[in-house]
């Protein structure tokens, strides 16, 4: 009986090993590095969660193919207790260290969807929900050369008065909550505004309003690895 059970388990074990190998080969690796001269609390959903990153530290996560609506961002000025409960001034995700949902604006966002249409990864940086930390989002594989940056030195100091918030420069939609900025029902009539152009002028490769796709969405072949750098 034991011998028969062992033999029946062998195909299952082999399948698990095979699936593990496939995942490791096809998963996209994200190296998230903090080059800011201060501590940030990196966040990543739906894969990763969150962790503290002191200056110079790197956090690596592996995201499986098919992962979509994914975001990576930095939280600033956080305080957490030993159970991982607390609060961040920017980018807070429900008062927990290990994020389960998106962060609160303002937060500079690295967004991605893996192995989508035509086996492509779609990546971007977005300032639609504002800006709190300079960011670079780049591919780290020889099969794709993409570098997206939003790292000007003047966004926080020149932030329009109506968008200024503690620790960052908020996006017009989360700050003012008007249809002209959020485009929830505007369809093709969604257009850039002077407030979105403030971000676009400083970060031309980043999303600045919801229909900014033509100049702000980039692709790489599925299986590409990536780097996200805070304060590049």
pLDDT tens, position by position, 45-86: 999 999 999 999 999 999 999 999 999 999 999 999 999 999
pLDDT tens, position by position, 23-44: 445 899 999 999 999 999 999 9
pTM: 0.89
How would you label 109-128 residue by residue, b for 16+ Cβ within 10 Å and e otherwise? bbbbbbbbeeebbbbbbbbb
Q: Give me 41's structure tokens.
A: 């609390």
Is beta strand 28-34 parallel, antiparallel or unpaired with respect to 226-230? Answer: parallel
Neighbours of 26 (CB within 10 A): 15
pLDDT tens, position by position, 108-164: 999 999 999 999 999 999 999 999 999 999 999 998 999 999 999 899 999 999 999
């Amino acid at each position: 009986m034991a011998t028969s059970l062992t033999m029946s388990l062998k195909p299952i074990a082999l399948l698990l090993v095979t699936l593990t190998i496939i995942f490791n080969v096809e998963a996209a690796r994200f190296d998230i590095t903090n080059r800011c001269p201060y501590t940030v609390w990196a966040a990543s959903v739906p894969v990763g969660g969150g962790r503290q990153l002191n200056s110079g530290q790197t956090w690596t996560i592996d995201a499986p193919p098919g992962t979509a609506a994914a975001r990576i961002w930095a939280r600033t000025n956080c305080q957490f207790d030993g159970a991982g409960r607390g609060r961040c001034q920017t980018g807070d995700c429900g008062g927990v260290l290990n994020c389960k949902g998106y962060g609160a604006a303002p937060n500079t966002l690295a967004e991605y969807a893996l192995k989508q249409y035509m086996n492509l990864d779609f990546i971007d940086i977005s300032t639609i929900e504002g800006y709190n930390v300079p960011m670079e989002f780049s591919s780290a594989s020889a099969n794709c050369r993409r570098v997206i940056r939003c790292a000007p030195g003047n966004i926080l100091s020149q932030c329009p008065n109506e968008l200024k918030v503690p620790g960052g420069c908020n996006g017009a939609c989360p700050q003012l909550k008007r249809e002209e900025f959020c485009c929830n029902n505007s369809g093709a009539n969604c257009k850039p505004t002077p407030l979105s152009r403030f971000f676009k002028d400083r970060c031309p490769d980043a999303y600045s309003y919801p229909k900014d796709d033509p100049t702000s969405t980039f692709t790489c072949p599925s299986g590409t690895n990536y780097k996200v750098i805070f304060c590049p």
